[in-house]
A and B are shown apart, each in its own frame.
Chain A
């Protein structure tokens, strides 16, 4: 008892210290952790609010109809499948616009199924290719118009890799171009709700405005059929 009395201050102080330690570990530290988490989450949320606000403003300012129309035309230039119909339609338009005569076109059918995995993908190019070659005959002016039309989104996007030319006795140029048309399946997802909208550079905006002015290729029209003066229009003629 006397010993206890002698050490009573030290014992009481030790009890208080232990109690404070216990409360700090079990109450104060979790509180401080929670406060820290709230601070970090608040920062994240503020960033998210800024991002989402900017994205919403951008989406709100867009012309829905313009992009819907442009997207359809973009699909003509760079479709999601091989689409041989639009490729053939492109050759027709190139011939009409340039005045050059397309003597022969040759393109690989390859895998017919668009969902087949055995596509030919060009090395270092973000698209699948349809290798083709095309033979045209014309003078320098018509060939110039032909090449300008090819590069100007008249129809499918075609890039020429090489060419060989012979000059006919008449002076006309007979040129064979080897090149590629392109296609790529559309992705099934567009990204998460807080992923920012892709930005377009100046060159890309120029492409968009050119594509928006191109006419739609009419692949199913029969309106020229009646004007055709060769062949039978019905089986019973």
Chain B
């Protein structure tokens, strides 16, 4: 008869490397996540508790200020309307013209033998002046005077049109020009 041996010790089965790794990773992850959760939770609760109080104080400060400003509603209304009106007036006045300077320069064109009979200025600041010269010589002097005005840049882009000699021997002429901006301020 063959001798048989019975092994009473149960051989431990070998664990897979993956199982071993999981056995380390899972508990570690659980502990870390629990720890982090606890920390974040406590911090958030403390932060909310502290800031709720500060938030409440700020809210009551805002309410108080709004109440005070509400009591000043009438002066706020008058001031706001006044400021808006004044701003509009400023805009409207910025485009306004004063013709005093221009009229003064036009009247200065009147010399011996030259008289200005009329003048006009349109929205685009184009000026037309009608003059009457007593003779050809005075007309010539007048044109020289205009050239001086052109050089001094008071009148720009000077053009003459239609010289007409009337029955009495006088010369009627129209001139057009653009005045310098300073003549319209």
Contact = CB atoms under 8 A, between A and B. Distances in A.
Interface stretch (B41-49, B151-159, B168-176): B41-49
A52 B106 CA distance: 57
Contacts of A184: 88
Interface string B30-50: 110110010011001101100
Interface in A137-194: 140, 143-144, 147-148, 151, 157, 159-167, 173, 182, 184, 186-187, 190-191, 193-194
Contacts of A31: 41, 44-45, 48
Contacts of B62: 45, 48-49, 52
Contact of B69 (A59, A64, A67, A173): A59
A35 B47 contact: yes
Contacts of A74: 82, 85-86, 89
A56 interface: yes
Contact of B65 (A49, A64, A77, A173): A49
B103 A9 contact: no
Contacts of B74: 64
Given A148-B100, A200-B83, A204-B87, A162 B27 contact: no
A13 B30 contact: yes
A208 B58 contact: no
B92 to A, nearest CB: 6
A20 B48 contact: no
A147 B81 CA distance: 28
Contact of A165 (B87, B96, B118, B123): B118
Nearest to A48: B62
B118 A164 contact: yes
B79 A197 contact: yes
Interface string A127-140: 10000000000001
Contact of B29 (A13, A34, A64, A199): A13
Contacts of B31: 16
B58 A20 contact: no
Contact of B79 (A52, A62, A193): A62
B77 to A, nearest CB: 5
Interface of A: 9-10, 12-14, 16-17, 20-21, 23-24, 27-28, 31-32, 34-35, 38-39, 41-42, 45-46, 48-49, 52-53, 55-56, 59-60, 62, 64, 67-68, 70-71, 74, 77-78, 125-127, 140, 143-144, 147-148, 151, 157, 159-167, 173, 182, 184, 186-187, 190-191, 193-194, 197-201, 203-204, 207-208, 211
Interface of B: 22-23, 26-27, 29-31, 33-34, 37, 40-41, 44-45, 47-48, 51-52, 54-55, 58-59, 61-62, 65-66, 68-70, 72, 74-93, 95-100, 103-104, 106-107, 115-123
